[in-house]
Amino acid sequence: MILITHEESLAISHFDTGFKRRSDEIPEYHESARAKRVVLAYLIANNNLDNYIMDNVQWMYESLSTAQDTCTLVVYYKPYASNKYLDTAEILEFQTDGYGKINGQEILKGTSLTKENIIAQAKHHQALLGIATNPSIMKENLRMMQDIAPAQSYGLIFGSHASGWLPSPNAANTRSFGWDGIQSNTIDIPELASTLEQSFPSGNLEFTLFDACMMGTAEVFYELRNATHYCVASVMETPVAGFPYDRFFINLYDDSIDYAEICNETAQYNRENNWWGTYAAVDCTAMGNMAQAIQTELTSHQSELQTIDYTQVQQYGYGDYKNFSFDVIDFISQLNGGNIPASIQSSIDQAVIAKDCLDRKEYPLMTLKIDPDRFCGMGMYLPGKNINYTWDRYCQSSIAWYNAAGWNELQP
């Protein structure tokens, strides 16, 4: 039986806007000693992913418990109304001493390792209540999380529903990242990038990992180029179970993170469960060079652009999202008669530092099949090909990649 995706599960979910408040007082946040790196997790689970995202917290805890040094995890968690362990949005703090304790208590193991006990062992801090995707709410909660655990650098995990850079089918705004409650409150990618830049003004956000669908596109990576150094994401819809944090989470505290391990372990986890998946780690600071290389190719191949059959290019969307993103290298290769220009190859090698995917024959997402030989690690929309009028308008008006990559310079 195939596990449903984050996005497909929306169709069968039923949301409840009500939630209970905690009757006991939540301790105020405090400052701890400055660490070299702290991992933050911003988890918007006020939707039908709540049980899966709660599993993710347990996996993070399991990996954190193996630390041989002091490591801190700070989690913003917005629960669904039926969550058994949290009544409202809270910030949870976990700090290991490297000697078998977390928050001064013995590490939970065996039958004691339950979600209930993990949440009970956390240090609870009152989060700023409100829509989790609202930029001002997100900024304040990220500020409090950094106050709780000051560090030289941070890693940030985002967990929720997402649909990449795409605009909402029913509104002018996008449904890019996040799904907070029945109103389907989201934050678009330009707003998210601005929020992160303001939340980490020192430029010390080392990586952002999107445990969410369809975020692995040039449009997203370029938008985040001034917000985060590295970004880990999938260009496809992702299985609801999320990343297998128990396999690699503790290594996110390393001075030099092995991003290939993250991609490989996640692909292997999906393989073991007969799912699907593409994963890549991208150096967002290299996206400027990537955009310039793409612009050169588009400008010099305008005639080929008029006749290219985009249905023959590897694409990554399924169902309503079909053709939202095409493989960058496969597209450029077809523009060049099967050849890849050196400038393009150099720019993608600089940008994509790790990648892995599952073979199309054994692990398809329904009818969507991915060819590993045509997967470069990054997707890109093709505006102006009559794929979707709303997508074209939004891409042209709101997504920085559109101008940076030279789509605006092409002759109509």
Tokens of 265: 């372990």
Assess if residue 154 is contained within a domain. yes
38 Cα distance to chain centroid: 18
Q: Render pLDDT for 178-220 as a digit per residue (tens, 0 to 9).
A: 999 866 789 999 999 999 999 999 999 999 999 999 999 999 9
Q: Render pLDDT for 364-378 as a digit per residue (tens, 0 to 9).
A: 677 788 999 999 999
Interacting residues of 54 by C-beta distance below 8 A, sequence separation 6+: 45, 83, 85, 115
Residue 264 · residue 240 · CB < 8 Å: no
Range of the domain at 232: 8-13+34-286
CA distance 24 to 88: 12
Predicted local distance difference test score (pLDDT) of residue 408: 96
DSSP readout, 103-128?
Answer: TTEEPP-GGG--HHHHHHHSEEEEPP
Tokens of 1: 């039986």
Number of domain units in the chain:
1
**Please, what's the b/e burial string for 103-139 (b: 16 or more CB within 10 A of its CB; e: otherwise)?**
eeeebbeeeeeebebbbebbbbbbbbebbbbbbebbb
CATH of the domain at 164: 3.40.50
Query: Looking at this protein, which amino acid is placed at residue 294?
Result: I
Assess if residue 245 is contained within a domain. yes
Assess if residue 74 is contained within a domain. yes
Tokens of 368: 């969507």
pTM score of the predicted model: 0.91
Assess if residue 140 is contained within a domain. yes
Residue 56 · residue 245 · CB < 8 Å: yes
Residue 182 · residue 16 · CB < 8 Å: yes
H/E element holding 402?
helix 400-404
Pinpoint the alpha helices (H) of 224-275.
259-272
CA distance 219 to 233: 12
User: Angle formed by the axes of helices 287-300 and 328-335, to 10°?
Assistant: 30
DSSP class of 239: B
Strands annotated E in 226-343: 230-233, 278-283, 326-327
Assess if residue 148 is contained within a domain. yes
Tokens of 235: 């260009």
CA distances from 224 to 48, 165, 401 (A): 27, 12, 11
> Which residues of the chain fall below pLDDT 70?
1-34, 168-175, 182-183, 360-362, 364, 411-412
Tokens of 162: 């997402």
High-pLDDT (> 90) share of the chain, %: 82
Tokens of 164: 């990449």
In 3D, which of 78, 209, 57, 33 has the Cα closest to residue 122? 57
Assess if residue 151 is contained within a domain. yes
Strands annotated E in 246-395: 278-283, 326-327, 352-357, 379-380
